[in-house]
Amino acid sequence: MMKETFYISVNDPPAKRGILEEGLRLFAERGLSATSIRDIADATGYSNPALYKHFKTKEELALTLFERCYKELMSRLTLAMKRDSGFSLQFRAYVAAFIGFYDDHPHAMIFTTDNLAALWPQASESMRNRTIITLTRELLEKGRQETLVSNDTNLPLQLILVVGTLVQLVRQLYLGALEGPAINHAAGIERMLRSGLA
């Protein structure tokens, strides 16, 4: 039996499960534009018509995966931060949740971050109402209120520092330039980010 993951529904038939799983893996490993429906069909063992039965286009499959992956990351970040109060503990939880998502689902993280610019404009309106950027901005504003984050630096630059550093960390792990698991780097990244934000 296939291991259940957040991007696969218990009601999904076996063919759809395989398409979602292999589609995500191939999109992460090869890139969205370099992956064809035929590649996904070959990886799953299903024919092109079987794929089209569940997803009309490769783009529909990609958007479905993107939304499910982004929502899961957002949910993990939100839940982690709710467990603590105060900027310091919430920031630590935020970093650990971001990095932990990569450890749990490296293909999902890489696919989501690498295809954000291409797929975000097509994402559902409900998804775009609350984003990782808005969540991070709120966290940094809390840090400013507690005088733990500098008010002398432009807030958008601070957002770039935090999100950009975390995205580059997971990319380097995925490419093998850093040794994992990612969580082993959490304390060091948190220290670096806190230093840059002070």
Statement to judge: residues 44 and 69 lie in one domain: no
pLDDT at 2: 38
CA 87 – CA 188 distance, rounded (Å): 17
CB atoms closer than 10 angstroms to residue 9: 12
pLDDT at 4: 52
Indicate whether 141 belongs to any domain: yes
Phi-psi label, residue 29: left if phi above 0, alpha if psi -120 to 50, beta otherwise: alpha
Which residues of the chain register pLDDT less than 50? 1-3
- Look up the CATH number of the domain holding residue 51: 1.10.10.60
Its pTM stands at: 0.91
pLDDT at 1: 32
Q: Which domain holds residue 43?
A: 10-56
- Look up the CATH number of the domain holding residue 121: 1.10.357.10
Reduced to 3 states (helix: H, G, I; strand: E, B; else coil), residue 36 is coil
